[in-house]
Amino acid sequence: MNNKFFAKKLIKWYEYHHRDLPWRQTRDPYYIWLSEIILQQTRVAQGLPYYERFVNTYPTVFDLANASEQEVIRLWQGLGYYSRARNLHQTAKYIVQELNGVFPPNYAGLLRLKGIGPYTAAAIASFAYDEPVAVVDGNVYRVLARVFGIDTDITGGEGQRQFAKLAAELISQEQPATYNQAIMEFGAVQCTPSAPDCLLCPVQQECLAFATGRIHLLPVKIKKTKVRERFFNYFVIVQNGRVAMRQRTAKDIWQQLYDFYLIESDAPVESADEFSDNQPLKSIFLQTIITPPKRIFTHILSHQRIQAQFWVLEAAPETTLHLPPELTFLTEDEIENVPKPVLVTSYWKEHNF
């Protein structure tokens, strides 16, 4: 298909069918950047309230840079992939401290910022500055693979180079911002993964996947994500209405978020007795009343499935407990205000101490 023809059809489709989203009303790189980082691995409906909250709380990059990391993570709570929030904050600080609050004015400069990869740099450069650099995200892979009948694996280097080259050839030089918005929106709304609306599709006649009955075979993704099973055994130590929590600092999921004393096991554990050799739990077990878990909480992340159980260890007010050094007793209000993984929040909502 002629490149100009493809771009023209998509742009025309976009004019009539696009959703009105707040980040499409702006050319400010700060707002575009916020929306792109929030929307990575997140559906628009879920990301929209977060975008509005961030824009209202931090209307400028200076406001975001001046916030504490804990406040930023608290506002991010529930979106997952918390390294995105930390990178967002660090990059805001870098832009304020090193670049006087001004975003780099082109793709190459944006790409040098932490947390900004080729996709985000292309999105900001085209939406904010009209630079003709093509975005390639999951939607774009799907649309291009189907329309052009490409069955190269999109998870491999060869496929990624092939699609990037094609995307660069197709982008409209006159309307790069609208074209990029259009192809992503087309993938999100019209050429969806499992129910593409082929009957009312403006490129149906040119679409090779449609012509050859390969719609559900394209794009090809060979690598299957391996899901890691994890078993979390939480010990919720309670005394005087306060609960012992710690901030997660290890290089793992949920860095900087708060949870309880945790022992991870290779398989589900049935009784707290299995931890009777654990120091310092050993002495705490002797000083507390143990309430076993009522149920297992399951939490699914992109590469991990976590099954968590919570044992409550309640100590009498006068008992002197020797807590592990990373734990601190927090009041109920403090717990409400610290950033927590969704798993911990779900548990917390079901329990009152």
Residues in contact with ligand SF4 by CB under 6 A are: 146-147, 190-191, 196-198, 201, 203-204, 207, 209-210, 215
Q: Which is nearer to ligand SF4, 34 or 207 (CB)?
A: 207
- Shortest CB 25 distance to ligand SF4, Å: 27
**CA separation, residue 55 to residues 32, 38, 270, 328 (Å):** 11, 11, 46, 33
Q: Which is nearer to ligand SF4, 215 or 323 (CB)?
A: 215
Q: Which is nearer to ligand SF4, 151 or 264 (CB)?
A: 151
- Shortest CB 14 distance to ligand SF4, Å: 14
- Shortest CB 13 distance to ligand SF4, Å: 10
Strand runs (DSSP E) across 101-200, as ranges? none
Q: Is the peptide bond before 104 cis (omega within 30 degrees of 0)?
A: no
**Contacts of 222 by beta carbon, 8 Å cutoff, 6+ apart:** 153, 155, 156
| CA–CA distance, 38 with 79 (Å, rounded to integer) | 8
Please indicate whether residue 36 is annotated as part of the active site: yes
Long-range contacts, stretch 314-319, CB < 8 angstroms, 24+ apart: 314/238, 314/239, 314/288, 314/289, 314/353, 315/237, 315/238, 315/239, 315/284, 315/287, 315/288, 316/239, 317/239, 317/240, 319/239, 319/287, 319/288
Catalytic residue among 15, 36, 131, 264, which? 36
- Shortest CB 216 distance to ligand SF4, Å: 9
Q: Which is nearer to ligand SF4, 26 or 204 (CB)?
A: 204
Q: Which residues are catalytic?
A: 36
